[in-house]
Amino acid sequence: MSMLCFSDDEVTKNHRLSLFSDVPGAFDNASGGFSSSEVRETLVKVSAAFVDDLKRLEQESFLFSDDSLSVREGSVQNVEALYRWQSEGAIPGLVAMCLLACERWALTDFALTRPVMVAAILGEIPSKLLYHNNDHLRKVLLQTIRLISAHNRIYAGTDRLLTKKQMAHLLIAACIHDLGHDGAGSAGSPGRLERQSFALARPYLLAAGFSEKTDLEALEIMLLATDVSPLDNPNSLMRQMKAAYTHHFASEKSDADFYLSSDLSILRGRPDLCQMALLLHEADIATSAGLDYGLSQHETDLYCREIGENYATPSFILAFFEKTCEKQFLSEAGQLLYADNMTRIHECVRQDVMAGNKPFTSGLR
């Protein structure tokens, strides 16, 4: 399979091209669930958009929680960028976002960057779903980068600082967390879709050198913990992960036992993995719950249409906020970036429900 190619005058940093030098080999050497034509077409698409995606992203100071920006300014810029990208018809791609993150965080170890780039390309294999599609993965990766940056600013100089390996693994997880989504729910089988995503990505990640058993296990745990269904079950995989996180990191620790299924039992002794899983989950819900009411309406409209609902109403958003999000972001980084926005959106939703719960189609400007 041919290598990704960019002309010398388009890419100003030579090592950017080196990050891609043998990434296609991971697809040649893997026997996975995607056809060679799907992969080839995706590589061509990524190559064609890459330089423009980089230029668009490099103009945005909010992406890495720039020190010159207040939290509010960063949030406003994030919202404006999402509206602008939607109007332009394309959110910058996963590969360009991952490359900038690797540069910003000095992730230079090829053993880390190669699987990150492979995951980014996998996440760009086209999906026709209305909500769980390539744009959703891009939005989640965008918020994952913001959360990692905010988290490491908060915990600088402490043992809760995310390592380079952990940051790389979060990038991988964000890129593939809904890979191959079929548009259906868990169908009574917790983690069905997340296991499917992991199984699809696994052979390609193995071919990229992502082969340590503990790393693969941690990645699957992170994906499983994004399963928020069923909404009313206190023992959903997401809620189990949150209970473990609270046990490890609450300011007033409790010795009270908490339930973990066999799938997530490792979290009892892995506070580091709880932290990573929570950041991924919060990145997954952030665009819908933590930025802007118009974006919350837009995301809800897409999701409702994907599952066959005729229309979306404010009550859908209210249920999401109260049952899935439990009206809060739990991580300190999530609280910093999204808590004020969530409070404001929740009040807007509550008022709209009280005013008649009128359907909407999208909140995009």
Which CATH number belongs to the domain containing residue 255 in this structure? 1.10.1300.10
Residue at token pair 């499983």:
224
In a domain? residue 231:
yes
In a domain? residue 331:
yes
Q: By percentage, how much of the chain surpasses pLDDT 90?
A: 79
> Which residue would you say has higher pLDDT here, 21 or 331?
331
In a domain? residue 186:
yes
How far, in Å, CA of 285 to CA of 330, rounded? 12
pLDDT of residue 23: 76
Q: Indicate if the pLDDT at residue 2 is higher than 60.
A: no
Q: By percentage, how much of the chain surpasses pLDDT 70?
A: 91
Give the least confident one: 18-22, 50-54, 90-94, 154-158: 18-22
Q: Indicate if the pLDDT at residue 22 is higher than 50.
A: yes
The span from the first CA to the last CA of the chain, in angstroms, equals 42
How many domains does the chain divide into?
Answer: 1
In a domain? residue 242:
yes
Q: Indicate if the pLDDT at residue 124 is higher than 80.
A: yes
What integer is the mean pLDDT of 63-85? 90
In a domain? residue 133:
yes
| 83, 288, 276, 261: CA torsion to nearest 10 | -160
pTM of the model: 0.94
What integer is the mean pLDDT of 316-335? 95
In a domain? residue 360:
no
pLDDT of residue 28: 77
pLDDT of residue 295: 97
Please give the residue range of the domain that contains residue 25: 14-354
pLDDT of residue 73: 95
How far, in Å, CA of 191 to CA of 223, rounded? 8
Q: Indicate if the pLDDT at residue 187 is higher than 90.
A: no
In a domain? residue 197:
yes
Q: Give the pLDDT band of residue 15 (cuts 50, 70, 90).
A: low
Q: Give the pLDDT band of residue 6 (cuts 50, 70, 90).
A: very low
| 264, 179, 206, 190: CA torsion to nearest 10 | 20
What integer is the mean pLDDT of 199-218? 96
In a domain? residue 192:
yes
How far, in Å, CA of 363 to CA of 43, rounded? 33
Q: Indicate if the pLDDT at residue 330 is higher than 90.
A: yes
